[in-house]
Chain A
């Protein structure tokens, strides 16, 4: 095709649009007005506005991963774009869900809270599937993509809005020393200068020429940067604003370049020049396709060169519609009627002159009662006198209910607003931050006063010039409005509805009903009716709702108040927020120096914090996890096993007062511990609850190395730092993480001494020379390693600490020397099983922040003679010494063929009534459970009330199939309670 048209698809049909067209302007160009169905009632909906405020025309972009809820009035078309309408099934014209419109009594105010209560079982079988099928805005995207980046700005002045006020402000700042950022959400600057006929000329130049010249001047000023297609969505504390730039406007998706940019802006002063938004009026069927806001209609004419309809009816309560009237008659089009709520005497003479000149019927002191038509406006009813209604055929109705300063960002900044009785809207009152409002957002709708306002409000900025400009204004100079929020219904039928929130399908009747039900506070009313809770946040209607409510409550709008305007101002795609933090960049993956070896040996990995740890090693492809863990566990207790423990946190503590410090940080006493010895140590919070555990090695009184749980490393270091800095600043002690400085191997099992002696043939590993819980440093190649004799499996065991670059070589060497000894590599699951057999706890699995050392039977770890340590005093609090606290015990099933499930409840009774009528008293829950290949039955640990006294008794554990199994309560040490194997 060589006609310069851009072709795209809407609901399967091909349409052509012009370059720069939005989906909406292109559809209007093709005379398509019916573009979607509404959220609740599935009523036909059209294009209501020409910008970000659009409540109705939401579409899905199929070729952009199904991107839902895209505003057709904002998104620009490109060749090959595939667009689909929303909320309809099976098709736009025949929609099954529109039956909701007939069921509307059940969808009235508060329907979320009331309707779906009964009968029993209906929720799962009827309501939920029905709601899932027909409700919701659009459908979620099929896959996540992020091609966004974040950019930070630090500027002196941020100007939000590049319309008339924003451009004048920028002109005033051009060439000064202020670092300025000017942001406009459109693809061009100019605002009303481009979208309306309100200004004839500026400085005797045509408006377009003036905009071009001013933009050129700004660009050449060197101190002002312009961002277009960028919407400021958020205004935070300390003048921190967030803006969202769409780089791909009018372009098909690009697979390389970032499409979205999230700008994070910190500024000294914010100038809000973001204008105003037109609002609608509620009348019967004010949602029909063909009803459009008047200023939006005019914007289609000037910005896109589309006349949505040549002979619409204009309905207004204010002076602004002169501009639309003028635009239409200038093009030779004649509106069918001009309906003004105001008395003829109050209507501006400029408007009356035009109406007379072009012979357009004026209905003064009249209002639109409603409109009718199938899938679009066909007929409009005008109430010309109290009881007299006339009907006029038309396919479009342009409505203006007045203007609201766009105060969203201003209120986000926590500025105060006030009601203006002459403008009938809220406008900024007092800034909270360094925020300046200019032009219509400040409530100034008089162009004559604009230059004065800008000069006055920006005079405090250093080095700015006095701005001089002459504006030649078209039509009425002063903005006049008469209050009207809703017109009276004539017809009563299910189909006849007067909407207050188009996106959420809230009717004016819902507002009345909610107030009758007692929701007379505006914040309650909003939530109960869901008014203004859609993605458009009721931009064209929320003030109207306040107007209607204030009338019912017989209060002033300022007494009714307004709800909070929350960020973001317009919907922000998750992918923009995500930026580069996606997939592997979202949370870094940490791998040990042996990772490749694990991969090559068929390890299945488990995420522990950010670490990738081998969970178990598959011997052959068909081996299940259970089989692998049973094999690894059994093998280790028979010969030996090796675990990559490099992820364990390691903290080095040094200083003259290191011993005193360690004694305060841990429950155990380190005073009498000999140098080059180690202790299993517990760390508590000040509340006496177990926070972490690990082995603490004492090199000497001034030097310790503590290990922590893999997940707890950062917290433990922070905890130590906090106490060192805030409680004991005079202590000479320093600590640092050395987790990554050493790889750690845990070798354990009866054969581990043989293996160690072969690998390190010059070291004596005998009990005398290398007793349990001691460590030694050795030279190995050209580095130093530390070997600690310790065990977490209950078997004879050693831990080797070695700098990472030597790790793989040593690891392989160990396997080489134990090739005839069946050394088995094992993962975290086997480690968990083995320690559970031995009765060792895992902090975070067998504890949950409510468990003390006493509850865990770890009294032996408490340095009784120590005067103080963190949490000590709490251990004698009345609640901590209470006998029936939950305490850790072991459980064994009476019938050894049964397995116990982790997380199940421990109860006293065998039988549960079905259905359960009375709450069943729960004694506690199972914290760990494994099938022991050595004992050949299930072993479990549980936290149960008064557990210590229950040892020897019989209890029951619930199962996931609603049965119970009898268990015996035992001590937690299932294997080798005398530690003979460990001390071998």
Chain B
């Protein structure tokens, strides 16, 4: 139940929005000219990292506008929102909070809650 700052409406409850998966996956300009592997990468393959992720959201129960957001998938913190067409912020803007090789968040739950950081 986090808050999302719609670039058109302002801060609203998460329940008003829908997630649209990874952002900046452009539809190939000329699909006929690329091979099966390249096409299926566009259709099926997404990065889905644990950490900083650029993704699309739509204000379904609001202005119905699509926009982009940068979210840390391990903490669910939305770090930035920006409109379609605007240049994506550089990944360097965001501090990656991942500490361990397997990518456990600094702050987590269960066993992680007592893990020494």
Contact = CB atoms under 8 A, between A and B. Distances in A.
Interface of A: 236-238, 240, 266, 411, 414-419, 426, 430, 432, 522-523, 558, 561-564, 686-687, 718, 721-722, 725-727, 729, 867-868, 872-874, 877-878
A433 to B, nearest CB: 10
A237 B110 CA distance: 16
A873 B31 contact: yes
Nearest to B44: A687
B101 interface: no
A561 B104 CA distance: 15
B36 interface: yes
Nearest to A688: B43
A877 B1 contact: no
B107 A416 contact: yes
A58 B28 CA distance: 62
A238 B71 CA distance: 14
B2 A238 contact: yes
B114 A416 contact: yes
Contacts of B32: 867-868, 873
Interface in B21-77: 27-28, 30-32, 34, 36, 39-40, 42-44, 56, 58, 60, 64-66, 76
A874 B111 contact: no
A687 B1 contact: no
B103 interface: no
Contact size range, B = 20 to 34
A411 B113 CA distance: 8
A562 B114 contact: yes
Contacts of B90: none
B85 A411 contact: no
Contacts of A430: 107
Contact of A877 (B36, B65, B76): B36
A866 to B, nearest CB: 11
A415 B65 CA distance: 34
Contacts of A878: 36
A523 B111 contact: yes
Interface in B78-111: 84-85, 107-111
B114 A727 contact: no
B9 interface: no
Contact of B114 (A238, A414, A418, A722): A418
A558 B114 contact: yes
26 contacts: A236-B2, A237-B2, A238-B1, A240-B1, A266-B3, A414-B113, A415-B113, A416-B107, A416-B114, A416-B117, A418-B114, A432-B107, A522-B111, A523-B111, A561-B110, A561-B114, A562-B113, A562-B114, A721-B64, A722-B20, A722-B66, A868-B32, A872-B31, A873-B28, A873-B34, A874-B43
Interface of B: 1-3, 20, 27-28, 30-32, 34, 36, 39-40, 42-44, 56, 58, 60, 64-66, 76, 84-85, 107-111, 113-115, 117
A426 B31 contact: no
Contact of A729 (B2, B34, B44, B84): B84
A236 B1 contact: yes
Contact of A237 (B64, B76, B108): B76
B107 A873 contact: no
Nearest to A236: B1
B113 A416 contact: yes
The 9 closest A-B pairs by CB, nearest first: A873-B31, A561-B111, A564-B110, A237-B2, A236-B1, A240-B1, A238-B2, A432-B107, A725-B66
Contact of A414 (B64, B66, B107): B107
Nearest to B58: A722
Given A415-B113, A563-B110, A686-B42, 5 more contacts: A237-B76, A414-B108, A417-B113, A417-B114, A877-B39
Contacts of B84: 725-726, 729
Contacts of B43: 686-687, 874
Task: Tell which of B36, B42, B111, B113 has the most Cβ of chain A within 10 Å.
Answer: B113
B27 A414 contact: no
A266 B111 CA distance: 28
B65 A725 contact: yes
Task: Tell which of B56, B84, B114 has the most Cβ of chain A within 10 Å.
Answer: B114
Nearest to A564: B110
B114 A564 contact: no
A306 to B, nearest CB: 38
Contact of A238 (B3, B28, B107, B110): B3
A562 B20 contact: no
Contact of B109 (A418, A564, A687, A874): A564
Contacts of A523: 110-111
A357 to B, nearest CB: 43
A850 B102 CA distance: 35
A96 to B, nearest CB: 39
B92 to A, nearest CB: 24
Contacts of B42: 686
Contacts of B65: 725
A874 B60 CA distance: 28
B88 to A, nearest CB: 14
A555 to B, nearest CB: 12
Contacts of B58: 718, 722
A427 B94 CA distance: 31
B100 to A, nearest CB: 15
A189 B39 CA distance: 65
A522 B111 CA distance: 9
A238 B76 CA distance: 10
Nearest to B42: A686
Nearest to A241: B1
Contact of A727 (B3, B27, B111): B27
Contacts of B117: 416
Nearest to B109: A564
Nearest to A433: B107
Task: Tell which of B34, B56, B66 has the most Cβ of chain A within 10 Å.
Answer: B66
B27 to A, nearest CB: 5
A111 B2 CA distance: 39
A426 B114 contact: yes
A911 to B, nearest CB: 41
Contacts of A240: 1-2
Contact of B110 (A562, A867, A872): A562
B113 A726 contact: no
B8 to A, nearest CB: 12
A416 B30 CA distance: 51
Contacts of B60: 718
A563 B113 CA distance: 9
Contacts of A562: 110-111, 113-114
Contacts of B66: 721-722, 725-726
Contact of A868 (B31, B34, B36, B114): B31
Contacts of B3: 238, 266
A541 B26 CA distance: 54
A414 B111 contact: no
Given A236-B1, A726-B84, A414 B109 contact: yes
Contacts of A726: 20, 56, 66, 84
A725 B58 CA distance: 10
B18 to A, nearest CB: 8
Contacts of A564: 109-110
A873 B32 CA distance: 6
Contacts of B56: 726
Nearest to A873: B31
Contacts of B76: 237
Contacts of A725: 65-66, 84
Given A722-B66, A725-B65, A726-B56, A411 B36 contact: no
Task: Tell which of B39, B44, B107 has the most Cβ of chain A within 10 Å.
Answer: B107
A410 to B, nearest CB: 9
A906 to B, nearest CB: 29
B1 to A, nearest CB: 4
A880 to B, nearest CB: 10
Task: Tell which of A418, A722, A873 has the most Cβ of chain B within 10 Å.
Answer: A873
